[in-house]
Amino acid sequence: DAGVIQSPRHEVTEMGQEVTLRCKPISGHNSLFWYRQTMMRGLELLIYFNNNVPIDDSGMPEDRFSAKMPNASFSTLKIQPSEPRDSAVYFCASSFTGASYGYTFGSGTRLTVV
Amino acid sequence: ELKVEQNPLFLSMQEGKNYTIYCNYSTTSDRLYWYRQDPGKSLESLFVLLSNGAVKQEGRLMASLDTKARLSTLHITAAVHDLSATYFCAAFDSGTYKYIFGTGTRLKVLA
C-alpha cells in the first residue's frame, strides 16, 4: 500500500490566489481528516469525513476554507482567497472507523502564501 | 469534551539519560496512541495502547497506559541523538470518533 498520498508537497502562492490541496486516503479506510500544523498553534483538526460525508467541520477557520470528498479515494481542501496567515503544513490522515489502530498520515503539503 | 495535555512541552536531555513524557487526558478513553514527528516530516505511529496496564516497548522507548489515572507515559531509556523528535500522544474520543492530540513534546538529545 502506498499510504496516504498528498499533493503537492510544496506550494508557494501569492496572496489572494486560490489554492487546492489533494489527498488520496488508504484504500479501505472510511475516515479522512485534514489537519493544519504551525509552530504557533500546533496540530489543528480542520475537518473530518466519514464515508465521504463531512462529520465535523468546526475546525475550519473561515469561509475561505472548504473541503470536499467526492468519493472514497479522493479529497480536496481549498483556500480561496489565500492569505499569508494560511501558511502552514497541511496534513491529510485516514483510518478505518472502529479499528484499534490510529491514523495514518500523509507526507503533508507545505503551503507558503506570500 | 476530551482534552489531552502533554508535559513537558520541551525537553533537552543528555545522551545516556532516562526521562519520561506524560500524557494526561480528561475523560474516559479506551485507546491511546503515540506518534513521532521528525523535523519537516509527517507523523509516524509508534504505539497503540488499548487497555489498562498495557505496556509496549520498542528499542529505548516504552509506553504505558493507566486508564484509571487517565495517564499514559512514554519512557526514554539511555537516550541517543536519533531519538530527537517531537512526540505526540492522542486519545480516542468515543463520542466523536476522533483522536484528540496533545500539544506534543519536543525532545532534543544532546551529545
- Residues of chain A falling short of pLDDT 50: none
Q: For B5-50, how does the pLDDT look when each residue is reduced to its tens digit (9 = 90+)? A: 999 999 999 999 999 999 999 998 888 999 999 999 999 999 999 8
- Residue B33 with chain A: CB contacts under 8 Å: 102-103
Q: For A30-63, how does the pLDDT look when each residue is reduced to its tens digit (9 = 90+)? A: 999 999 999 888 899 999 999 999 999 999 988 9
Q: What are the DSSP calls for chain B, one per residue?
A: ---EEEE-SEEEEETT--EEEEEEESS--S-EEEEEE-TTS-EEEEEEE-STT-EEEETTEEEEEETTTTEEEEEE-S--GGG-EEEEEEEEETTTTEEEE---EEEEEE-
Closest Cβ–Cβ partner in A55, A103, A107 for B99: A103
Q: Which residue of A has its CA nearest to B36?
A: A105
C-alpha cell belonging to residue A101: 489502530
The whole-number pLDDT of residue B101 equals 93
Contact B97 A50 (CB under 8 A): yes
> Mind telling me how many Å the CA of A107 is from chain B's nearest CA?
5
The whole-number pLDDT of residue B1 equals 85
- The region that residue B32 occupies, defined by phi over 0 for left and psi between -120 and 50 for alpha, beta otherwise, is beta
Does A39 reach chain B within 8 Å, measured CB to CB? no
C-alpha cell belonging to residue A99: 479499528
Q: For B51-63, how does the pLDDT look when each residue is reduced to its tens digit (9 = 90+)? A: 888 999 999 999 9
- Residue B92 with chain A: CB contacts under 8 Å: 102
